[in-house]
Amino acid sequence: MRSPIGVFDSGVGGLSVLQALRAELPLERFVYLADSGHAPYGERGDAFVAARTHAITQHLCAAHGIQALVVACNTATAAAIDALRQHHPDLPIVGVEPALKPAAGLTHTGRIGVMATRGTLGSGRFAQLQAAQPAHIEWVLQPCDGLARAIEHRTTDPAARLEVQALCARYTQAMGRFGTGAGEIDTLVLGCTHYVFARDELRALLGPDVRMIDTGEPVARQTRRLLDSSGRLATTGDASGDTADSVRLLTTGDLAALQAAAAQWLGLPPTACARVALPTASID
Ligand code: DGL
């Protein structure tokens, strides 16, 4: 059987990336790890996020023999992807970053909003990414404390669903006016993989004309390119087509929450999900 592609996030947010990966690479197998027992990452600091990232990668390599890794978390990419590549030089690794460049290409008003975690927005990687964009763009950066946590619980807790709505309202209000008129934000970058699952709430607040951009599809295409260039891309006939074989979802947190998210967002059966305990990473 083919080695799977490992995908992980602090929790269920990376399922938005897994969705795009499965559509782009239907012949590949996937093992997804939601580190929900340690979510959210966004307000935890780099050292914590880097240690979790190393522990998860070690586990996915040792227990699942992954052939490639997708870090489906902006916060973990910002905090740890360079060190991760150094530790695993033979493993193709794809990260996710807020889609500033595509947003800069699409805006007409020149004013772009970015919703992301505090960790992502405060990172050196983000500063570099922002500095590489056209100088005339005005960026409205909004750290969204608590939003990933509320999304994490929304499928199993009605109070969390209301909290998602309230936080989306609070943060979009804080960013100023949205719309297509002069001086308005016409493009919103969803710089955290969890926020894709708050699209409906955001759409209701922002109206039909504001563009929302996430990174699932470009990351899936980049993963295909990387597999192809390293001769690892599955060819016809490699996959069984059976869901039980093609995708495994693991969580370090609440199994019922992962099962609910997998069913609601990806149409996957509860049997695709399991709990996992991870040993702590040793980082030299
Ligand atoms: N989904 C993650 C991201 O893309 C992290 C959310 C969190 O755990 O704070 O940044």
Q: Report pLDDT for 284.
A: 42
- Nearest of 222, 194, 220, 234 to residue 20 by alpha carbon: 220
> What is the CATH number that goes with domain 100-213?
3.40.50.1860
Residue whose CA lies nearest to ligand 1 atom number 9:
42
Catalytic choice (144, 168, 192, 273) = 192
Neighbours of 120 (CB within 10 A): 29
- C-beta 16 within 6 A of ligand 1: no
| Catalytic residue check, 192 | yes
> What is the CATH number that goes with domain 5-96+216-275?
3.40.50.1860
Domain boundaries, the chain: 5-96+216-275, 100-213
Q: Report pLDDT for 235.
A: 80
3-state secondary structure the chain: CCCCEEEEECCCCCHHHHHHHHHHCCCCCEEEEECHHHCCCCCCCHHHHHHHHHHHHHHHHHHHCCCEEEECCHHHHHHHHHHHHHHCCCCCEEECCCCHHHHHHHCCCCEEEEEECHHHHCCHHHHHHHHCCCCCCEEEEEECCCHHHHHHHCCCCHHHHHHHHHHHHHHHHHHCCECCCCCCECEEEECCHHHHHHHHHHHHHHCCCCEEECCHHHHHHHHHHHHHHCCCCCCCCCCCCCHHHHEEEEECCCHHHHHHHHHHHHCCCHHHEEECCCCCCCCC
Question: How many angstroms is it from 115 CA to the middle of ligand 1?
Answer: 11
Residues with pLDDT less than 50, the chain: 283-284
Cα distances from 122 to residues 46, 94, 96, 191, 243, in angstroms, run 10, 21, 16, 12, 39
Question: How many angstroms is it from 152 CA to the middle of ligand 1?
Answer: 10
Q: Report pLDDT for 241.
A: 54
Residue to mutate (ligand 1; options 73, 125, 151, 153; most atoms within 8 A of CB): 73
| Catalytic residue check, 73 | yes
Domains 5-96+216-275 and 100-213 share a fold: yes
Q: Report pLDDT for 245.
A: 75
